Structure 1
Amino acid sequence: MEYTTFGRTGLRVSKLGLGGAPLAGVFGPTDEREVEKMIHEAIDGGINFIDTAPRYGGGESERRIGRALRGGKRNGIVLTSKATGPGDTFGYADTIRSVERSLRLLETDVIDLLQIHDAEQAPFETIVGETLPALEKLREDGKIRFIGVSSRVLPLLMRFIKLNRFDSIQFYARYMLIDHTAKDELLPLATESGIGVINGSVLGLGLLADTPAPFLERAIVEEAAHRIEQLRFLRKREPHGLVEPAMRFSLSQPAIHVTLTGAATRDVLRTNMAFCDGKGLKPEELERVYALFQGKKLFQE
């Protein structure tokens, strides 16, 4: 396992993090005992970054993670969650209640990183005027350590970075083989600002694993298929021959501190952990990928 320093927080984090959505059965039925074994295997394999949210299974992901971290396993883990939960607004009071609920479900006294979840869903003024002050109060009270923000909208994340009140950002499907637009402005700004960076959905909601999510629009699936055809030079094996290069593409990007794996089984987890060996794409392969899709968004903002 490789490790890096998470921006200006000083936290030492594994470059591969465990994403919490599949742990709650968001993408299909999961057995709670199997989930617990997966979390333990991830920790034993060197993963020390676990990311979850109240919206993942309506709190089920947090509950399962909290249970799996009993018996001292919470020690040494960088535990992250988000606000707000399902049915909540982004208002001050709802934000406080959401985090208090997460603390109970996770069975912990403090959450290491608390992120504003999908911040594009609320007006910028609400986030800055209510959500963020609530998190700053929780940090002052010692219930969270650091504050982050997540969004798929890159210009919005850049606007938040420039406030100099956040410690981290998280985006998804914005630095992957078929849409790497985050590298052009967002990642340089984050590096300059000392911001921790978390990259989610490096497989593009299943597109790069040849299993696109059923909710994706037909136009996006067709455009992705066209781009994927141009990546034949990267395929390692069939089926799912782009998974390895897709993971390595993100894991080897120095501006990205944590790449999340949304493993649904321990076999998938083991496979992804094997890619944390410091090896990225060959320089000529990376140059070719960048040239193919320079500035070309797949998912519109």
Structure 2
Amino acid sequence: MKYNAFGKLGDSVSRLGFGAMGLQGVFGHHSEKDLVRSVLHSLERGVNFIDTARNYGESERILGLALREWKGERPFIATKIQSKGPGNIGWGIPIPVKTAFPQGWLRESTELSLRLLGVETIDLMQLHQYWPQWDRVDYWMDELLQLKQEGKIRGIGISLPDQRHDVALTLVQSGKIDSVQTVFNIFDPQPLDCLIPFCQENNVALIARCILDEGGLTGFLKEDTRFEEEDFRKTYFENLPRHLYMERVNRLREAFIPQYAHSLAELAIKFVLHHPGVTTAISSMHVPQYADENIAAVDREPLPDDVFENIRRHHRWVRNFYETKYFI
């Protein structure tokens, strides 16, 4: 495993992080025992960055069980404050910060996360959505700074709701936050244009998520692939003809596999980690086999610069699959 300094906080974190959304059961059912084991397995393999959220069902509680079993060095724990509004309100269209995070809610959510995780301090607390209009109101940042002063959290970050990467640029330059989490993958390399360089210049950690495009960039998707009703991917992959997605994936396979990567997943991980401005990239590793495959990709030879630029320029396919969740 390879490691980076986490922005101004300075912690050494694994370049590949454990994305704990999979502990929620949204990618298929797994027993609680197996989910705890998946966390421990990744920690044993050198992963020391874990990202979860109050909004991920039982994820924080299950992660807390794993942390109590873990005998090694404490990992870096990042979580997110769940917005107050029902469902996905504010995730597709901006809402007032007082609706999403009313006064007192940041503390209430943080203290619940602390209890479920079984820790005294959360290394990084993120807002689970952010809109730049909120910068006109200062109470929410004041509340986070107070939690930091009390030692309940160490760092402050934001998680962008979808592919509108540039909404965070002003906040990144303000010096008030420690990290930004955003969608970044082969099909959507837009953070490379502005957000990643801005974060790098301002020593703000960049957490890349959806690096495998909810699994699509592993090549698993077939015409007859079916998902259970509660599976997150059921709506994600059903807003356009499936063969269009498969054609894009096959273009990548034909052009770069196996010359530059053993698998499509490895190619996707190498692409996201190529730029030094990416601090860590999180992936669902709730199955130990996934963890082993993804971790192996970090340790192999990086992509040549010309191959990286080829993929960035000629395989981008920017679209917002989350629209089926926000607007339909």
TM over 0.5: yes
Higher RCO (C-alpha under 8 Å, 6+ residues apart): 2
In 2: Cα distance, 1:207 partner to 1:128 partner:
39
1:7/1:280 CA distance change after superposition, 3 Å: same
Counterparts of 1:206-285 in structure 2, within 5 Å, are 206-211=215-220, 213-216=233-236, 217-219=238-240, 224-231=245-252, 232-236=254-258, 241-277=263-299, 279-285=301-307
Maintained 8 Å contact 2:17/2:47: yes
**Cα-to-partner distance string for 1:107-129 (whole Å, 9 max, x where unaligned):** 01000000111224xx7327853
8 Å CA contact 1:110, 1:143 repeated in 2:
yes
Query: Which consecutive residues of structure 1, in runs of 5 or more, have no partner in the other structure?
Result: none
2:147 is aligned, of 124, 138, 142, to 138
Report if the CA contact (8 A) 1:5-1:12 is conserved. Answer: yes
- Report if the CA contact (8 A) 1:223-1:298 is conserved: no
| 8 Å Cα contact 1:54-1:86 kept in structure 2 | no
Distance 2:43 2:155 in 1: 22
SS in 1 for 2:68: coil
Q: Residues 64 and 118 of structure 2 are in contact (CA less than 8 Å); yes or no, is this contact kept in structure 1?
A: yes
Report the AA paired with residue 107 of structure 1.
Answer: G
Give CA-to-partner distance per residue, 1:136-178, whole Å, 9 cap, x none: 1100111000000010321212132122210000012x3x112
- Unaligned runs of at least 5 residues, structure 2: 87-99, 222-232, 324-328
Distance change (3 Å), C-alpha of 1:161 and 1:28: same
Q: 1:127 to 1:50 in 2, by over 3 A?
A: farther
Q: Is the 8 A contact 1:119 1:127 kept in 2?
A: no
In the TM superposition, what is the alpha-carbon distance from 1:91 to its structure 2 partner?
1.6
Q: Secondary structure at the match of 2:64?
A: helix
Change (3 A) 1:278 1:241: closer
* Structure 1: distance between partners of 2:83 and 2:60: 11
Matched, 1:178 2:187: yes
In 1, are the aligned partners of 2:20 and 2:286 still within 8 Å (CA)?
no
* 2:29 alignment counterpart: 29
- Amino-acid identity (%): 30
TM-score (normalised: structure 1): 0.88
Aligned to 1:297: 318
Q: Shift of the alpha carbon at 1:76?
A: 2.8
Q: Does residue 78 in structure 1 map to residue 76 in structure 2?
A: yes
Q: How does 1:181-200 map to 2 (within 5 A)?
A: 181-200=190-209
Q: In the TM superposition, what is the alpha-carbon distance from 1:223 to its structure 2 partner?
A: 5.4
Aligned mate of 1:164, from 175, 186, 192 = 175
Q: 1:234 Cα shift?
A: 1.6
Aligned CA RMSD, in angstroms, stands at: 2.5
Report the count of equivalent residues.
292
Contact persistence 1:13–1:49 (CA under 8 A): yes
- SS of 2:80's partner is strand
Distance change in 2, residues 1:171/1:220 (3 Å): farther
CA distance in 2, matches of 1:9, 1:224: 39
Distance 2:37 2:310 in 1: 39
Q: What are the Cα deviations for residues 58-114 of structure 1, in whole angstroms up to 9, with x where unaligned? A: xx1000111111156474311111112565831221111000100000001000000
Question: What corresponds to 2:8 in structure 1?
Answer: 8
What is the distance in 1 between the residues matched to 2:273 and 2:213?
15
Question: Which letter does structure 1 place at the counterpart of 2:128?
Answer: H
- The TM-score, its normalising length taken from structure 2, stands at 0.81
1:42 aligns with 2:63: no
Q: Contact 2:180–2:204 (CA<8 Å) still a contact in 1?
A: yes
Match of 1:61 in 2: 59
